[in-house]
Amino acid sequence: MSAKRLEQVALATKTAFVFPGQGSQKVGMLAELAEQFSGVGQTFAEASDALGFDLWHIAQSGEGLDQTENTQPVLLTASIALWRLWLDLGGLAPKYLAGHSLGEYSALVAAGSMSLADAVKLVNLRGKLMQNAVPQGEGAMAAILGLADDKVVELCQSVSASGQGSVEAANYNSQGQVVIAGSTASVQQVMALAKEQSAKAIALPVSVPSHCSLMKPAAEKFAEALEQTAIELPTIPVIQNVNAGIATDVAQLRQALTAQLYQSVQWTRTMQSLQDQGIQYIVECGPGIVLSNLAKRLPNIEKAFSIDSKSKMEDALNAVLVAEGKIA
């Protein structure tokens, strides 16, 4: 989708798009839409050509889908296929974009900040660097549910101070839902302590502890690749993970994407910022319903949609057009 084409699309005033990260992939994603809309296959072909391997085959067969170097480009491509389809079907351009973790790259491609070809190469490399930074089994992530954010941070700090390895808050997803990341033993210790305080602790099926200081070596190498990549300021504002702010120049964009590897995802603040800007409708542009479900709980969000099937896409297109006063 060229930025020029984006400029010709009517703009929403109360709607934001959010793009999911790893964990939202599922075997067979977008199969139904691909049968009905040729653009889905074309987007996957464009991304596969850039990488030199078949992303659609991975998405449909599941072979290697959960290896992060594959998960990341597959999810990004799926999100961009849905984004292009939304615009092709007459959808409004949202007022803001935001992406959770990997999803920040999808948001930047949607906003014309980088090309799909460059982005899939970047996130494939991001996956490789992340996997290489921590040997298999030595890092872990877990969701802590039902504790205040500062309480989770406190537990992480006390366990890290005991010298067994570091553990940190990696994703602030919503009030009372924080994901932690770090060395496996330390993550398990925080989980046990959280359960003692009547919280729920759920180990996440990931191969890499994202968004924590164990990723610093990966970030240093990744920064070099980012420097080589053509990046422009987005045509639609993208709210960043690391500070819930909006970059005012390309250097800030690159900096935020590098820092995002080892700093926490400020999703709670991102969603608050969208509400502060008058956003009432959220569309999750990617496989699954993780982000739209989080959004539904927020006080000022009237409706949150996912669009990964034909019926859901049509419902969201119409609802947003009505909500924005474009059709009665």
The residue extents of the domains of the chain are 3-133+214-323, 139-206
Per-residue pLDDT, averaged over 169-190, amounts to: 97
Check pLDDT > 50 for residue 88: yes
Per-residue pLDDT, averaged over 211-230, amounts to: 97
Longest dimension (CA), the chain: 62
**pLDDT one-digit tens code per residue, 185-201:** 999 999 999 999 999 99
Q: pTM of the entire structure?
A: 0.97
Can you read off the two tokens belonging to residue 114?
């980088």
Mean model confidence pLDDT for the chain: 96
When pLDDT is cut at 50, 70 and 90, the band that residue 1 belongs to is very low
Please tell me which residue in 24, 48, 101, 210 is annotated as part of the active site: 101
Q: Is 57 a catalytic residue?
A: no
216-228 helix and 116-133 helix, angle to the nearest 10 degrees: 160
Check pLDDT > 50 for residue 18: yes
**pLDDT one-digit tens code per residue, 20-54:** 999 999 999 999 999 999 999 999 999 999 999 99
| CATH number of the structural domain 3-133+214-323 | 3.40.366.10
What percent of the chain lies above the pLDDT cut of 90?
A: 93
CATH match for 139-206 among 3.40.50.2300, 3.40.50.970, 3.10.20.310, 3.30.70.250:
3.30.70.250
Please tell me which residue in 211, 264, 273, 292 is annotated as part of the active site: 211
Check pLDDT > 50 for residue 177: yes
Q: Is 100 a catalytic residue?
A: no
Give how far Cα 217 sits from Cα of 110, 220, 266, Å: 29, 5, 21
